[in-house]
């Protein structure tokens, strides 16, 4: 199945995000070897050079490291993995607040709505 990609944002960024997501959701464990550029490109149905760029960027950030002959691996640095998770969470939260601002809610009102939603969800039977 080709990866689902948004058509207006740079492809390599979306490939990076997808791989980060796969690391967080446990598709890849710390220290795992990741497939070759070619295999990943085929799986995603994208250009191999674009996949290469995404992996190089992940390498630059330290999330992925390469061993000269044996391929690329996910970092085992738990601190870095935790930081990536926090960064992504911060990004989602920021986007959420931006959207709420567009709808005309202040930060306080948005927070109240979150609390309200949680309260309702927790009171529902069978959920």
Partner 1 sequence: MSPILECRNLTKKYGGSYALSGLNLTLERGEIIGLLGPNGSGKSSLIKLAAGVLQPTAGEILLSGKAPGAETKRFVSYLPDRSYLGRQMRVSEAVDYYNTFYDNFRPERASGMLDSLEIDRRARLSSLSKGTLEKVQLILVMSRDADLYLLDEPIGGVDPAARDYILQTILTNYNENATVLLSTHLISDIENILDRVLFLRGGQLALNASVDEIRTEYGKSVDTLFREVFKC
Binding site for partner 1 (CB under 8 A): 2, 5, 7-12, 41-42, 44-50, 53
Nearer to partner 1, 21 or 85 (CB): 21
Strand partners, 67: 71
- H or E element: which one contains 80? helix 78-102
Nearer to partner 1, 45 or 99 (CB): 45
Minimum separation from the CB atom of position 49 to partner 1 (A): 5
Give residues with Cβ within 8 angstroms of 70, minimum separation 6: 33
Nearer to partner 1, 42 or 100 (CB): 42
């Amino acid at each position: 199945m080709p990866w689902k990609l948004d058509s207006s944002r740079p492809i390599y960024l979306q490939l990076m995000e997808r791989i980060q997501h796969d690391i967080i959701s446990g598709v890849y464990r710390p220290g795992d070897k990741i497939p070759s550029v070619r295999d990943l490109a085929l799986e995603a149905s994208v250009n191999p050079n674009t996949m290469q760029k995404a992996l190089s960027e992940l390498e630059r950030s330290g999330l992925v490291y390469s061993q000269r002959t044996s391929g690329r691996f996910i970092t085992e640095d738990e601190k870095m993995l935790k930081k990536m998770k926090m960064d992504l969470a911060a990004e989602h939260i920021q986007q959420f607040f931006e959207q709420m601002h567009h709808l005309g809610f202040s930060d306080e009102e948005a927070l109240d709505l979150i609390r309200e939603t949680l309260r309702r969800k927790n009171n529902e039977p069978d959920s």
